Amino acid sequence: MPVERATRRAWLIWSTAVAIYFVSIFHRTSLGVAGLQAGERFGVGAAGLGTFTVLQVGVYAAMQIPTGLLVDRFGPRRVLTVAALLLGLGQSLFAVASSYPLGLAARAVLGVGDALTWVSVLRLVAAHFPARRYAVVVSLSGVLGAAGNLAATVPLTLMLDNVGWTATFLTAGLVTAAYSARAVTNLRDVPEGHPAPAPEPIYPREVVARVRSSWRTPGTRLGFWVHFSTNVVPSTLGLLWGFPYLVQAQGLSQEAAGGVLSLLVVGGLVGSPLVGGFTARRPELRMFVATGFLSLTGAAWTLMVLWPGQLPVPVLGAMFVLLSMGGPVSAIGFALARDYNPFRRVGTATGVVNVGGFVATTVAALSVGVLLDLAAPLGPAGAFRVALLAVAAVLVVGTWRTAVWWRRARAVVFAAEARGEEVPVRLRPYRWDVLPSPRPALAAA
């Protein structure tokens, strides 16, 4: 959908949608600082706490492709309205839940509502903003959404300490549900004067064909693995295990741990516009940014596992700032999905990409909980040292597949140029590229 410039109306629509994304991140990450209280409230250990996150994130991941299809079929306005209602219902139920099964049911409802938000926001950005501004607006959306994560650190800790579990989460749930009325009145699926895409029926055969077409697109596959590998570390730490790790393994107070954990958010707030602006200006370099981040993350994670004793607080802070860049860098995956898929399939392709990071987080979060229980005789520090190896294994797999599909996707772009076709981004060939024969003349980036 060609949009030449963003209007004031576009920014209003975007801000309304991002507000829903903000509260979805708040609800998603609220267990990060409430994990220890949740363990006491529901009478569960590390594996039980891990199940909360695994269920919520697993539901989120499983819903991404259906969400893309729903957005393509019904439009982001309706989907975001339902998202706000489900988020409010899930958090309200979690506020009054007193049994472990009811708590799990509440997090599952929350996971469904959360799953409906991000793909819908990206579809609105694709419809209301010109292509050259897509990466910047997506990064800005991530920044404001990350503020929900920030609200779920120190402020939420203070609220839980002062007004208690039920009042804190019930207030958050009711306010979120009430906001759905604003979504109904303010959101528009397409800019004024543009015809809405004809809704396509959701039949099983068409669904399978649409998902298969998105998955077979090398740019989508590359975006999936970029999101898988760059998002796993900050999500695993921010959603559940960062706070217990800092308190139990590193010996920090709860207030200090909340402060260090908030660096995951502050770093993302600063890094998102920088990464988004740079990759928007130089899209041919965005995969170099992603692979560079993965190299630094691997080094940081190795340091966390092998460091003897407790890490100095300045080192912890620097590492969490570095790892916070995973959120901004993961947005590269969505840009790849947008660039290499037709507009009518952008919602589905974005959903496919978004599955990546949350599949990785589901596997990592569950594995950490299981390993913590198994390694409990080693003490908190030793148990976490063993458990963090699970995250390292997921990171290695994701980095390997990212490298494989980066090379394949580049080969497809070069072949398209050789046939005289237009490509979204002109790439400079390197010695390790697979080039068509005869070799095409390419513009150096």
Give the per-residue pLDDT at 296. Answer: 94
DSSP SS3 for 183: helix
Could you please state the CATH topology (level 3) that the domain comprising 8-190+202-418 is classified under: Growth Hormone; Chain: A; (1.20.1250)
Instruction: Mention every residue, 6+ apart, whose C-beta is less than 8 A from residue 211.
Output: 65, 69, 348, 352
Please, are residues 152 and 172 in contact by the beta-carbon 8 Å criterion?
no
Pick from 395, 353, 71, 347: which is nearest to 219 by CA? 353
Q: What is the pLDDT of residues 211-224, one digit of tens each?
A: 888 888 898 999 99
DSSP 97-143: --SHHHHHHHHHHHHHHHHTTHHHHHHHHHHHS-GGGHHHHHHHHHH
The shares of helix, strand and coil residues in the chain, as percent rounded to the nearest 5, are: 80, 0, 20
CA 193 to chain centre: 32
Give residue limits of the domains in the chain.
8-190+202-418
Which pair of structure tokens corresponds to residue 352? 């496919």
Give the per-residue pLDDT at 290. Answer: 95
Pick from 413, 128, 392, 391: which is nearest to 287 by CA? 413
What are the C-alpha distances in Å from 442 to residues 141, 285, 415, 418, 433?
34, 16, 11, 9, 13
Please, are residues 190 and 77 in contact by the beta-carbon 8 Å criterion?
no
Question: Buried b vs exposed e over 71-102: b needs ≥16 C-beta within 10 Å?
Answer: bbbebbbbbbbbbbbbbbbbbbbbbebeebee
Amino acid, res. 87: L
Give the per-residue pLDDT at 196. Answer: 64
Instruction: Mention every residue, 6+ apart, whose C-beta is less than 8 A from residue 281.
Output: none
Q: Which residues of the chain have pLDDT under 50?
A: 440-445
Please, are residues 389 and 264 in contact by the beta-carbon 8 Å criterion?
no
Number of residues written out for the chain? 445
Which pair of structure tokens corresponds to residue 399? 């980095």
Rounded to whole angstroms, the Cα distance separating 282 from 259 reads 34
Angle, vertex CA 71, rays to CA 67 and CA 74, nearest 5: 125
Give the per-residue pLDDT at 444. Answer: 35
Please, are residues 64 and 79 in contact by the beta-carbon 8 Å criterion?
no
Instruction: Mention every residue, 6+ apart, whose C-beta is less than 8 A from residue 159.
Output: 168
DSSP 314-371: HHHHHHHHHHTTHHHHHHHHHHHHHHTS-GGGHHHHHHHHHHHHHHHHHHHHHHHHHH
Which residue reads 């996150």 in tokens? Answer: 53
Backbone angles phi, psi at 310, to 5 degrees: -90, 140
Which pair of structure tokens corresponds to residue 52? 């909360």
Pick from 210, 417, 382: which is nearest to 305 by CA? 382
Which sign does the torsion angle of CA 187, 190, 195, 199 carry? negative
Give the per-residue pLDDT at 438. Answer: 59
Please, are residues 128 and 14 in contact by the beta-carbon 8 Å criterion?
yes
pTM of the shown model? 0.73
Pick from 231, 24, 5: which is nearest to 110 by CA? 24
Using CA atoms of 311, 313, 315, 319 in order, give the dihedral in degrees to the nearest 10. 100
What are the C-alpha distances in Å from 412 to residues 209, 372, 402, 434?
21, 44, 15, 9
